[in-house]
Amino acid sequence: MIQRIQSVYLLVVTILLIVCMCTPVGAYIAEDYSVSKFTNLCIVSADGVKDYAPWAMFVILVVAALLSFTTIFMFKKRMLQIRMSIFNSLLLVGYYIAFFAFYFALKNDENLFRIGWALCLPLVSIILNILAIRAIGRDEGMVKAADRLR
C-alpha cells in the first residue's frame, strides 16, 4: 500500500496540509509597524489578542488532510480513490476561495498584507493530488489490461 507512488503522493499531501494548518499564511502590517499574524484558525494581533476567527479555512484543511489520509487506504477501490482525490483538489481550491474572501473582508487602506510561505502548500498539494490521480489511473489501466489477457 505505501510502496505505490500514489500512496506516497497522498501521504505528502497530508503532511503538507498539516504543516499549513500550523503555520501563519500571512501577516497584516499596520502603519505603526505592528504585525498581526493571519493563521488558518485566527488572526493574532501584535499584543497577542485574537481578533477574528477565519475558522472555515482551518476546517477545509482538516477535512482535506483527513480525506487525503483515508484515500491512501482505499487502494483496492481505485475509481473511488480517484474520485476522492478529485474532491480533495476541489476542497483545496475552495480553501483559496475562502482565503481570498477573508482577505478582501479584512483588507483596508491602513494595513499592508504580506503573504506567508505556507499559503503555497495547498497549491503543491493540488499538484500532488493530480500526480496521484494519474498514477492511480495508470494502475487501473494495468489491471484492466491484465484482466483482458486472462
Phi, psi dihedral angles at 43 (to 5 degrees): -110, 120
69 pLDDT tier (thresholds 50, 70, 90): very high
The 10 Å Cβ neighbour count of residue 57 is 25
Tens digit of each residue's pLDDT (9 = 90 or more) over 84-95: 999 999 999 999
> Of 71, 43, 46, 73, nearest to 58 (Cα)?
43
Return the ∠ at Cα 5 (arms to 91 and 69), rounded to 5°.
40
pLDDT of 53: 73
Measure CA 43 to chain center.
Answer: 19
Residue 3's contacts (CB-CB under 8 Å, 6 or more residues apart) are: none
DSSP state of 64: H
The 10 Å Cβ neighbour count of residue 40 is 25
pLDDT of 66: 96
Return the ∠ at Cα 62 (arms to 56 and 66), rounded to 5°.
150
Q: What is the mean pLDDT of the chain?
A: 87
1 pLDDT tier (thresholds 50, 70, 90): low
Cell matching residue 144: 484492466
> Of 58, 52, 67, nearest to 98 (Cα)?
58
